Copies of this chain bind each other. A is one copy, B any other.
């Protein structure tokens, strides 16, 4: 890819980031039952099934002490399960509990309505192309994210 096109792409990445974060409403506090950061953690766990504390921190880009604090809160709420790896007892694996999974699904539904109303300004064609593009963006980010976490492991 040409250098110039890459620069344009990165410019788009930079400028779309805050838009993405802000345009479609607040992250996800709503119930105030949980902090946005904790909600993100639950979403990652829902997508990726299981993480060690360290890898969860890498995904969320937060430091280890913060992972501990965050996971403690999620455990206190029963949203997450802690289990130590038997092969390497240093590792503590975190996964979603049934309660945590239900919580996310229920809350996301509430959040749906909020976003849905914002989408009403778009035509049917715009919705279609937005949908396809977003899927592509998501897949790409996921790929970058996974490549990134693997690199950090080595």
Residues of A within 8 A of B (CB): 1, 5-28, 40, 43-44, 47, 59-61, 108, 111-112, 115-116, 118-119, 121-122, 124, 126-138, 140-145, 147-148
Contacts and interface: CB of A to CB of B under 8 A. Distances in A.
A101 to B, nearest CB: 14
Contacts of A141: 16, 19-20, 23-24
Interface majority SS (helix, strand, loop, mixed), chain A: helix
A10 B129 contact: no
Give this chain's copy count.
Answer: 2
Given A10-B116, A13-B134, A121 B108 contact: no
A19 B138 contact: yes
Q: Ordered nearest first, which 8 A-B pairs have the shortest CB separation?
A: A133-B133, A121-B147, A133-B136, A18-B40, A16-B138, A9-B131, A130-B140, A19-B141
12 contacts: A1-B128, A12-B131, A13-B115, A14-B115, A18-B43, A19-B142, A19-B145, A20-B137, A121-B147, A122-B140, A126-B140, A133-B137
A59 B17 contact: no
